[in-house]
Amino acid sequence: MNAAYPLKNDLILRTLNGGKVERPPVWLMRQAGRFLTEYKEVRARAGSFQNMIAYPEFAAEVTLQPVDILQVDAAIIFSDILVIPEAMGLPYEMNPGEGPFFPNTIRSVSDIDKLRPAEDAANLEHTYEAIRMVKQELYGRVPLIGFAGAPWTIFCYMTEGGGSKSFSKAKSIMYREPAMAHRLLDLITDATIFYLQNQVAAGADLIQIFDSWAELLDGPTYRAFSLPYIRRICEALPHVPRIVFPKGAFFALPDFQHFPCEGVGLDWHTNPSEIADLLPEKVLQGNLDPSALYAHPDQVRQMTQNMMRSFPQGKHIVNLGHGLHPDTPRESVLAFVETVRSSSFVS
């Protein structure tokens, strides 16, 4: 393990831990991505998206780029939520412009029986090595975020075989064979716990859980098939701040009031002031529409300021309501970050 360096910028950690802060911290989901020319150059050298994940030197390089170029307040390790099913024995392909595709999917209990156990699934040494490399190169400049997909979201990909508008195969299993669904969710949860614990051991300072397909469920099904598994993960990581991003699950946000996490991510459909009243003890993250960054930088600055005013002072991590689009203008991303960095709370 790398030696621990004193953090020069601990703004996001102080925010999540309820400390006094001079301004809100800022980072962006997919901040290491195709909108950066530097990222595209690394991808060309690596040969593929999956090679960038598999080789720590590539993952580390693109993880550090937004810290150097954008001056964000946190790095997030470059990886993909689908490394978990791959490590469990369900490999995927990433075809340009088409998204992920699983040649084999989970259709039966016998398919589940063929999956590797959690201890093997957590053996993602390339990610842990990338974390160690990034921590060394950061030299305490900013914290490093580790992450994983929520079990329900991973379940969707493992049963559907790729992206979908309805995820009808996944939801069919959930409704018709709930015992099978829970068994698979249990295995995914075990693997995710091992994976995140190893990320923290390698040097991740905080973690985020992405429930990208939370919006597919309603309140009762979300409380049955997603929340309990996210809770298990959060309870297994008590020594680092935890952010949960349940995209589209506005109906479930009240359930996070007494949840074992410090932060809750909001998508751009959600009214921050209303959620602040529902979750007074939580730090809220978000939530500008990613498409707003297509606007002129001057407009981006104004929209960013308006957004920040809608969140409670000292309990907000500035971010987007989802990931950056690949064709987002670089100057608008810089305007977004600079607006936050130049802000200050009135004492």
Selected catalytic residue, list 39, 128, 157, 195: 157
Residue 223 known to be catalytic: no
Six token digits for residue 139: 């030299």
CA 26 from chain centre, in angstroms, equals 14
Selected catalytic residue, list 80, 111, 255, 289: 80
Residue 139 known to be catalytic: no
* 146 strand-pairing partners: 207
Residue 245 parent element (H or E): strand 242-246
Quote the CA–CA distance of 55 and 203 in Å, as a whole number.
18
272 in Cβ contact with 284 (< 8 Å):
yes
Q: Is 14 exposed, middle or buried (0-12, 13-18, 19+ CB in 10 A)?
A: middle
Residue 43 known to be catalytic: yes
Secondary structure class of 116 (helix, strand, coil): coil
Residue 30 known to be catalytic: yes
Q: What share of the chain is helix, strand, coil (3-state, %, to 5)?
A: 50, 10, 40
Query: Which is nearest to 83 in space by CA: 95, 100, 70, 96?
Result: 100
CA 220 from chain centre, in angstroms, equals 24
Q: Residue 118 corresponds to which amino acid?
A: A
What is the 8-class DSSP label of residue 165?
A: S
In terms of DSSP H, where are the helices of the chain?
11-16, 37-46, 49-54, 56-69, 83-87, 109-113, 118-121, 125-138, 151-160, 168-176, 178-202, 219-225, 227-235, 272-278, 297-309, 330-341
Residue 157 known to be catalytic: yes
Neighbours of 201 (CB within 10 A): 12
Catalytic residues: 30, 34, 43, 80, 157
